[in-house]
Amino acid sequence: MCGGKQNHRNAIVCGSDDPNAWTSGGGRGNDLDLVTHEIAHLVEWASNRIVESPAFRLWGDSKWAEIFIYDVYRGLGRTADVTRWYNNLVGNSDNYPRKSPGSFWFRDWFYPIYQAHGQARVRQMANYGEFVHFWSGAAGVALKARFQAAFGWTAAWESEYRQAQRDFPRIKYSHMGD
């Protein structure tokens, strides 16, 4: 839950009718999976006083949370839970966006991207030139002047900015010559 009525604070409420729901015995993992799933919603939906996920209407409840949970278990070194979680998901299909033969969000989308493109690693720490270039792309307009007004601008940052434009040419925005 998050929103103005809660003063933008988050809470997780989990429950089950199963008296054994909160023990991981038998490979159920409900105690971990359910709570980690709800944490995924906090990450997805509530950041910087913004409520809602821009892609939730596309992937629905749980699809992004599935790879988030997998990554959390990997990051914590919980190899048995990584294997259990993978095995639980790899065969699951949904009827969206393709009804037949089904859509395998984890198997065909999130997991291959995760495996092939660095998993949880960041490719490198961004420099100021990349930072301004990436934010400009997200905004659709060059933000260099705004950054300069806020923080100044150095020759090194200019060099980084020009290099970022060369390194990431598909990031487009108006006034790219700025």
pLDDT in tens, 5-22: 556 667 787 777 777 766
pLDDT value for 88:
93
CA atoms within 13 A on the CB side of 98: 8
Q: For residues 43 and 62, what is the distance between their CA atoms, to the nearest angstrom?
A: 12
Q: For residues 101 and 89, what is the distance between their CA atoms, to the nearest angstrom?
A: 17
pLDDT band at 173 (very low <50, low <70, confident <90, very high): very high
Residue 52, SS3?
coil
Sign for the pseudo-dihedral over CA of 103, 109, 111, 112: positive
pLDDT value for 159:
97
Whether the pTM exceeds 0.75: the reply is no
Q: For residues 141 and 136, what is the distance between their CA atoms, to the nearest angstrom?
A: 5
- The least confident of 15-24, 104-113, 135-144 is 15-24
Q: For residues 25 and 34, what is the distance between their CA atoms, to the nearest angstrom?
A: 15
What's the pLDDT tens digit per position in 145-157? 988 888 888 999 9
pLDDT at 123 over 90: no
Written as six digits, the tokens of 94 are 């949904």
pLDDT at 57 over 70: yes
8 Å CB contact between 137 and 172: yes
